[in-house]
Chain A
């Protein structure tokens, strides 16, 4: 009996003196672990992320029919594995082995729909306006066959960006500036040597300048070579009630060529004309027939007309209306989970003040810095682990469900998918640490939750992505508030050579890690203020 009244023997593993960080960490972990409510809350948050994300997959299928198969055709995949739009008109011949194609362009014109947005894909377009799009293209092309998505290199005149050399969809190099006209023609040349294709341009056909050298790995001996034209859809941004919206419509481009010369082993007696149609939707109609383009030789001149684009696909790009889904679209539940985790993190700090436990805690761990670090480590690690599990399930499973139900999801590399999953878990962890620090600063659970959820993260994100604020204000919100951290969800890069609405939630004003750094900055400042207040204030 008496033995139970004795104080427990001092363990030799706990030396006298101030407790170290390890013991503080263990104490805080025990506090967290043994409260059933908090563990349940974390599990609920985790379940919400998965449940909402996966339940909403069906809601993301946006063509109004029951099955995505009816309206989404998969986009071709480029040589580097990204989804691409590969639709153009091509007057081509075969070239075996090394060789060169040279042509002079004297004109690039175009037509586009006068009332974009009112003409759906596969329907008749009546009124048209004359003019090119900024990225209307016509020029010369060397391509690995006629399959959409195959490797290529092109020298092209554009509607608004001068002469360019582009290859394998994502690469773009600038040549001579200025538009093509009869008085200032553009000479274009592509030379194939083994795996490499070199592009040159010239304004007189005498002095040539090299634009770039493309390395097309695995280019076969026989390739298609010729003249092409293509033009992406019109993109019109309208600011209106409830924010701004983007509408698009088809457009065509016509290039006029002469002095076309080929050297090397060329097959076929004449050019063969045909459309390459790889943009995941039926071609628009004109005069009741699909708008596939044309090729017309007249005297020494050849004109080629085409519609589409040769470019990487981006979410909501005007040229690929169906391909709007990214793997990040399966994380719609993240905010629901985040609010739960913020409440837990804020209470982890403020619950100590409610019943005066903080005085016992500080008696046991007198070092304010050590206590704060231990608390931040525990809550950060718990939310990171929980987030990693939740997001690690939601993304791969959601993508799988989407693809099984016929919904096209833009493919990304494994590294990008890993960045999305780990990055999102990191954002959850840093948000929790921010909530903890604000909880220590304000010492009231309700105030801390309101400050972090409303002022800090969720409301700026909401106003920045969904509500009817002007574009400049929305961009500013996603740049300077902690909501910038959600930039980590960007999985498809921006491309200078694709005209699209690069807009939240698929795109943020800051890059993935830059946005995350903004969030970390807020958390660091909040922790510093919490540390100073914890030192200066009596508990």
Chain B
């Protein structure tokens, strides 16, 4: 064994090998890109802007609609990367090799998030490219649009980290996915059912998806429940809480 390689580096290489040598993650990353672009294109295609009139829709946001579907595939990828080890009992072997619980969680987080960042960049750029073909007045040179694009990539990376944390806490792929999808999609459904505007705004501010996706808005910014960057901050707070929960469970519970 090569003692010169520090423990963190070895753990990182081990996790990366696991990710790289299974077919699933690569397929899922491809699905993230294709599904995001396809849904974005479908959303952009249904919108007809009459020529000569002011477009009432936020074109950048519309052409990034696919992120709302792509995030689910990202969650599947992240949940599988952590949860599958518990399903097969591999986690006990992994923990024998890398006894540092926090080291393991950190390496898992890195090896999941970095490929997701790459795929998310491809998905977001592809969606905007399709949007430019279908929608008027959408330019990547616009600072707001750039923020929406960069923020969407960060958003997908945060979703991956959130899922890693939840999966480490609940230790089952399907259950982790249920928790994450519930957290993402149910706040908006509940807030739509609530007609009191005060409650609605508060729920939207708490919602990781509604607040997080505020980063995609380029028009009517004062109407948002939260400004774009603080909105992404809400998602980051949820992610931090999930990672903390995952770390605590991993540290203080036997696998």
Name A's B-contacting residues (CB within 8 A): 52, 56, 58-64, 238-242, 324-325, 329, 332-333, 335-336, 339-340, 342-343, 346-347, 350, 354, 444-450, 453-455, 458-459, 461-463, 465-470, 472-473, 476, 505
Contact = CB atoms under 8 A, between A and B. Distances in A.
A60 B175 contact: no
Contacts of A505: 192-193
Given A241-B58, A444-B80, A446-B176, 10 more contacts: A58-B196, A58-B199, A59-B194, A64-B198, A325-B195, A335-B189, A342-B178, A354-B87, A446-B83, A449-B177
A487 to B, nearest CB: 16
B196 A59 contact: yes
A468 B72 CA distance: 19
A458 B185 contact: yes
Interface of B, secondary structure class, is helix
A241 B196 contact: no
Given A466-B192, A468-B58, A468-B61, A446 B181 contact: no
B236 interface: no
Interface stretch (B12-20, B62-70, B151-159): B62-70
A213 B68 CA distance: 54
Interface centre among B194, B198, B223 (most CB of A within 10 A): B194
B174 A473 contact: no
B119 interface: no
B188 A462 contact: yes
A466 B188 contact: yes
A473 B43 contact: yes
Given A450-B72, A467-B188, A470-B46, A56 B193 contact: yes
Contacts of B58: 241, 468
Nearest to B176: A446
A442 to B, nearest CB: 11
Nearest to B35: A455
A446 B80 contact: yes
Contact of A241 (B181, B203, B223): B223
Contact of A454 (B72, B83, B200): B72
Interface of A, secondary structure class, is helix
B6 interface: no
Nearest to B28: A447
A462 B199 CA distance: 18
B196 A239 contact: no
B69 A459 contact: yes
Contacts, number: 151
Given A62-B196, A342-B178, A343-B175, A453 B57 contact: no
Contacts of A342: 178
Given A60-B193, A336-B182, A446 B43 contact: no
B91 to A, nearest CB: 14
Contact of B73 (A333, A448, A450): A450
19 contacts: A56-B193, A56-B199, A61-B196, A240-B220, A241-B56, A242-B220, A324-B195, A336-B186, A346-B174, A446-B173, A448-B174, A455-B69, A458-B189, A459-B72, A463-B65, A469-B43, A470-B47, A470-B48, A473-B46
A445 B174 contact: yes
A60 B72 contact: no
B46 A472 contact: yes
Nearest to B220: A241
Nearest to A504: B192
Nearest to B48: A470
B75 interface: yes
Contacts of B196: 58-64
A58 B48 CA distance: 39
A324 B194 CA distance: 11
A461 B189 CA distance: 8
A332 B185 contact: no
